[in-house]
Amino acid sequence: MNSMQAVKIARGHIYFIPRDYMAKLTLFEDFIELLEQNNQFKRPGRVPMDANSMFVVDDAKQREKMASAFYNTVRKEIAEYEERHPSDPVGQSESGNFGPADSAYPGTGTETELL
């Protein structure tokens, strides 16, 4: 995954891989398929190993959607953390939102501003 500059984008095993590494992605998918075919520990009811890819159009609209989804997930995870650890709140601005007020998505900011 490191050699493809994969960036984890969600819980579980979902990654973004830049277009320049698509050839390696195909090789990786083939590798996972071979691992599954030769898996000696197949148990009833287990989930088989699988790798799928979905191409994302690289335009401003998609980047905005992905950024919005990322920040919504971060806000949710922070809220869950604060619920479990009420004496250790994660820093917020005076408005109660994360990030700059003039952000394209209210309540969002850069990753360092969120932490």
Structural domain boundaries of the chain?
A: 1-53, 56-115
- Do residues 104 and 64 touch, judged by C-beta distance below 8 A? yes
The Cα–Cα gap between 7 and 2 comes to 9
Please tell me the predicted confidence (pLDDT) of residue 110: 45
Q: What is the pLDDT of residues 11-52, one digit of tens each?
A: 777 788 887 888 888 888 898 899 888 887 878 888 787 777
Nearest to 110 by CA among 74, 80, 79: 74
**Mean pLDDT, the chain, as a whole number?**
74
Give the pLDDT band (50/70/90) at residue 92.
low
Q: Long-range contacts made by residues 29-37, C-beta under 8 angstroms, separation at least 24? A: 29/53
Whole-angstrom CA distances from 6 to 13, 19, 22, 62 are: 11, 11, 11, 18
User: Is the pTM here over 0.75, yes or no?
Assistant: no
| Separation CA 68–CA 103 (nearest Å) | 11
| Percent share of the chain, pLDDT over 90 | 1
pLDDT at position 89, please? 66
